[in-house]
Amino acid sequence: MASPEKMKARYGALYDKMRKASDKISNQSLYVYLRNLSRLYGLIHDSEVVKGDGKWLLKKELLKKFDNLDLNRKRLFSVAAVKGLKAYELKSPEWNSRLTKASESYDKQRAKRKITSKEQSKWPANGYKSLRKAAKEEKLLIKKELKRENKTLKDLLKIQNYLILFLYSYHPVRLDFADVFVKKPEAGKQQNYLYKAPRKGWQLTLRSYKTAKFRGETVIKIDRAPSRALSMFVPIVQSTVQHDKLLTNASGNPLSRNGLSKLLTKLTRKHLGVGFSASLIRVLFSTENRKVIEKAAKIQDEMGHNMKQSLAYTRKT
């Protein structure tokens, strides 16, 4: 849903204003702002289709509704509101103060590292390990599809369910798997892609992702087990559909990030009894590796470096 064409079709003039005001942000970030602006609009309207000149953002009724939201939505909606005000060329100290307050409260809450009530309600019994179990269960359901010589789109989608769970059980990226191509991009294109390196297996190159502006290109070596799964899966994709991406929707087109999120929620609910998506998967992974992360953070503090700089001081003996 983050393509410029789809955003233009859905949000119309608002998309044009937001893109003009924030020309350097990624399509995915722009989509998040547009989506949250429309939800904010829906708090005081019968529809989430944004209309008008933007003065709806200044209404006291909206601020009152906003003040009764939970902290996570306050953080997301206040960012979108400030971005929207910029696009409409309006100013509002009320929104600036609410954004500051929401951001500070959110940072304090995260610093405590306590499990939230929402996380608690979805936390699987065996934490991150439960994803590996779910993937194994899903694989048992696709024996016929795996053996079928001429696979159909329906077969591909069933096998894909297994692959998604298996990939996330080893590599807890955000929803970036929905943006991954299965071939190297043309020179200069900021695309995410999978490449099977000789004698090394599959590597995931991320160029367009949430923190790319600060981290730059990131290359992830796919672990051996999911690498074998990709070697099985990618040829099926290439022989079944016309697009060049890793994941596919029910129509045979590339699966969107929103579609991947919904599919993850559906699959985890199916196997684990609780449905959740990539954000909780990342929390589960980090929690399982808490001691390693804490130790790494301690080393960084003592060295006065970030992890990359600290690693540069190590030697292979």
CB atoms within 10 A of CB 153: 14
* Residue scoring higher pLDDT (21 or 313): 21
Q: What is each CA distance from 139 to 59, 155, 156, 306, in whole angstroms?
A: 53, 13, 13, 40
Chain CA centroid to CA 116, Å: 20
Model confidence at 310, pLDDT cuts 50, 70, 90, reads low
> To 5 degrees, how large is the angle CA 202–CA 208–CA 212?
105
The pTM is what? 0.76
User: Residue 2 has what pLDDT?
Assistant: 65
Q: Would you say residue 308 has pLDDT above 90?
A: no
Q: What is each CA distance from 107 to 113, 278, 288, in whole angstroms?
A: 10, 20, 22
**Closest C-alpha among 178, 98, 171, 91 to residue 128:** 171
Q: Which strands, in side-by-side order, build the sheet including 192-197?
A: 180-181, 192-197, 201-206, 218-221
User: Residue 200 has what pLDDT?
Assistant: 82
User: Residue 317 has what pLDDT?
Assistant: 61
Place of tokens 């060049």: 244
pLDDT mean over 145-164: 97
Q: What confidence tens digit (pLDDT) does each residue in 222-279 have?
A: 999 999 999 999 999 999 999 999 999 999 999 999 999 999 999 999 999 999 999 9
Q: What confidence tens digit (pLDDT) does each residue in 176-231 have?
A: 999 999 988 877 788 899 999 888 889 999 988 777 777 888 999 999 999 999 99
Q: Would you say residue 305 has pLDDT above 70?
A: no
pLDDT mean over 143-163: 96
Q: Would you say residue 175 has pLDDT above 90?
A: yes
Q: What confidence tens digit (pLDDT) does each residue in 3-59 have?
A: 788 888 999 999 999 999 887 788 888 999 999 999 999 999 999 999 988 999 999
Q: What confidence tens digit (pLDDT) does each residue in 51-102 have?
A: 988 999 999 999 999 999 999 899 999 999 999 999 999 999 999 999 999 9
d(CA 191, CA 176) in angstroms, rounded, equals: 11
User: Residue 315 has what pLDDT?
Assistant: 60
Contact of 14 with 23, CB cutoff 8 Å: no
